Amino acid sequence: MELSVVVASRPNVTPQEDIEVGVMADRLDFGELWIGEGWVWDAFVLATNIALRTDRIPMTVGPIPVSVRDPVMIARAAASTAAVAGRPVGVALGTSSVRSVEGAHGRSRRRPVTALSESVQAVRALFSGDQVDFDGDVISTHGYRLRMDPPGGPITVAAFGDRAIEVAASRADRMVLDLVSPDMAADFRTRLDAAATRAGRPAPRLAAWIPAAVDPDPDSYEQMMWSIVGYLEVAGYAEMFQAAGFGPAVELASTGADRQALHDALPSDAAYRVGLVGDTDTVRTQLAAYASAGLDEVVVVPATAGDPAGERTLTALATLR
C-alpha cells in the first residue's frame, strides 16, 4: 500500500500552511501530492505554487466538481500546471455537494452522475492531445485540443454511491474515498471490484483521504474533530458517519444545528475511528488495517495545528512507508 499526502485547502488551515505541507511532502520523498479543491485556494493555482517550491513530487488536483469546471477548463489547467511544474499532473473528478455547486457557485447540479461519467470521458480524450468532439446528455465539447503537452497524470474519480462507483470502475484509473474507517474501506473495495467485473476491466486502484496525527497534542486532535464537523451535513458522508457510530451528530446536522453543537455531539474518539491517530505503533496498526481492507493508497491529510506543516506526523509516516 502506498502513502501519499494531500493539502485539502480547508478553512481550518491557513493558506500558507497548505504550501508548507506540500513542500514537506516533497522533502520527505512521498510518492504523490494531492491538491484538494476546497473553500480557500483555487486548486490549480495552489498546485502551481507548490510546484515552484518543490523538486520532483507528481501531483493530482481535485476532486474537481464537474458541474463547476467543464472538461476543457480542467484539461487546460492540468496541462498548464504540468508545463510549469515540469512533472506529471493528474486530476480527480467528483460531483461535489449541493452546498458547493448550487450554493457557493450558483450552478446547476442536474444529473450529477451523468455529468461525472461524461466529464471523465471528455477529459480523457482531451488528455490524449487530440482534437475532441464529444456530445453527451449533460457535457459536450467541440473542436478543442490542448496546445501544450498532455499533463501525463492519472484520472481519478471520487465516488461514494453505487452509480458513481460504476463510473469509476468503468472509466477511471483510480477511485478515491474520503474519511472512511477500515470496515467501510473494505465494503467499498468489494463494491468497486464487483463493478469492474461487470464493466469487463481490471479494477482501478482504490485510494482514501485519511486524516492523520501522530502523537497528537490537543490542538492537533481538535483540528481533526472540526474537520469531521464540516462533513456532517454533506450528502454521502452522512451515511458513512452513521456507520461509524456518529448517529446523534448526523441527526443534529439534519436539523441545522450550529457547529459547536455538532462538535459536542461527536464521540470523543471520532477522529480515531476514521483517522490515523496515536503513537507510531498505533498508527502502524491502523495502516495495516487499511491495507487489509483493500486500499491501494492512503492519502494522508496531516493535522497542522500544534504541528506546523504536519512535520511531526509526516516524518513519522515517512518512516512507516
Domain boundaries, the chain: 2-217+274-320
Candidates 107, 95, 132; CA nearest to 236 is 95
Cell of 292: 487489509
What confidence tier does 249 reach under pLDDT thresholds 50, 70, 90? Answer: very high
- Is domain 2-217+274-320 given the CATH code 2.60.34.10 in the classification? no
Candidates 91, 251, 235; CA nearest to 173 is 91
Torsion of CA 210, 163, 123, 178, to 10 degrees: -10
pTM over 0.75: yes
Which of 63-72, 123-132, 252-261 is the least confident region? 252-261
The conformation of residue 69, written as its DSSP 8-state character, comes to: S
- Strand boundaries in the chain, DSSP class E: 2-7, 33-35, 59-65, 89-94, 132-135, 140-144, 152-158, 174-178, 205-214, 276-278, 297-302
Residues 280 and 273: their CA atoms lie apart, in Å, by: 16
Q: Specify the pLDDT at position 116.
A: 97
What confidence tier does 235 reach under pLDDT thresholds 50, 70, 90? Answer: low
